Structure 1
Amino acid sequence: MTEFPEGTPCWVDAMFSDLEGAKHFYGDVLGWTFGESAGEYGNYTQAYSEGKAVAAVVPPMPGAEGQSAWCLYLASRDAAATAEKVKAAGGELLMEPMQVGDFGTMALAKEPSGAVLGVWQAGRHQGFEKRGEPGSYVWAEIFTRDPDKTDAFLPKVFPYKVQKMADEHIDFKVFRIGDNANPALGRMKMGEDFPPDMTSYVNVYFAVADCDAAVKRAVDRGAKLQFGPMDTPYGRFAAITDPQGANFSVIDMRKTEGEMPQMQDA
């Protein structure tokens, strides 16, 4: 399995009060199958696409019921060192580095504008076995109300190079790892179209073979369509809130429209 460079998105999971309901929903919408729940790890249950690990679902921890959200994990070679960088850069450590058997070591952090990010130091579990294909993770963006704080924080914790979209009407940046042609993560400023009580969060995109069909399956199963479907140079996508309140997006990357936006060093 491929080792993920420092700062690369390497895994996603989410807590659901109705675990069986979540499994049925994402099984229907994204075609996932699920492994056996690991009782010794709080019934952590891996999701698979074509037999390859792509995500996980888990019941909520005590006190966190009703707070379903997808959590993005960024790869770290030393979770303890990354945790110290988080604190030094003005972030908040929600969970100190914790070893999860021989699978690896995890930590949870909140960047200064409020979005929650996971940190994963791989052991036996490296992370995604499939990505960028239908049924798997493809992209994530931090939606923030205070982009200056987010922009200052991320490069202090991970070895990112920052670029911004050359469009004065959109406040959007991407974070690249070294000279990697593919950006690791995006950052979008939340505008007036977002509900005023909505805090900063990470929006995870899953690839699908047909965006409109995926949206219909989701809505038919109780999800709320928040935006789209919309054609973009990156693909046709839509933003969805699942029946338990977790936000995510689906994108058909094979159906593109328009020219790629120009990016410039920030």
Structure 2
Amino acid sequence: INKVVFAGGNILNVKANKRVLELEEVDDAFFYPAAGDDGTPVGAALQIYYELCKRDGKKPEFHPLEDLYYGCEFDDDYIKEVIKKEGLENKAEKYDGIEEIVGELLAKGEIVARFNGRVEWGPRALGNRSILADPRDFRIVRKLNSAIKQRDFWMPFAPTILEERMEEYLVNARPARYMILAFDTTEKRDEIIAAIHPQDFTARPQTLNEWNPSYRKILKTFEKITGVGGILNTSFNLHGYPIVGTPELAIWTFKNSGLKYLAIGNYLIKK
């Protein structure tokens, strides 16, 4: 067996996944991104689907798993009402090109929380419910951990890297769109130093293709200004809390943390 599919909570251990891919016996492997209990209903649904196809004499259709943006989304009208309810009208401004604004803020060293589009399925924030930062300055790690994420200093962050530039930063690079693989990093690691493991310099990246055009605009703006092909991406939540799922929770987290900027829909809120 040279091609293997893995599922189950153990494959959230990205270092183990890295070792599997390095085995000579393994030509390729797929690691199911919703590896915990959140992915179990999909298996149950597929089982019933195959049984129904067999009963009805139909051939099952197969569709590759692509993006994981399966959850709820909220339009600007709803977000506007929440902003008004929270008394933040005077601190919020609507932009047609919010992605460019966010990219410019990141290039200036600002930290921006992002709530946009449909929420991600699975345990990883993949740009729509994320806190974003400039990965070049390791000092930003302390600020993220102490003032915003409120978690232990030793917990590493991860990068989102433009897929067309992944080979510049990752050794034995391959598409890693779900933040479930780990890689050694190249000599260009200093450009993303705040978003990799500080001890062994490995990275648990999200390589970003065309599945999320809005998020790509942020990275492309940041790249245009800085020349760097990635940013720091961590989940939008306080330590011990789930990833924010609604505008109300996004604003609550914004208010109860050291975050200065919140890009929510096409609105930018500034403290």
Q: Give TM-score scaled by structure 2 length.
A: 0.26
* Bigger share in strand: 1
* Bigger share in helix: 2
Asked which structure has the greater RCO (Cα within 8 Å, sep 6+), the reply is 2
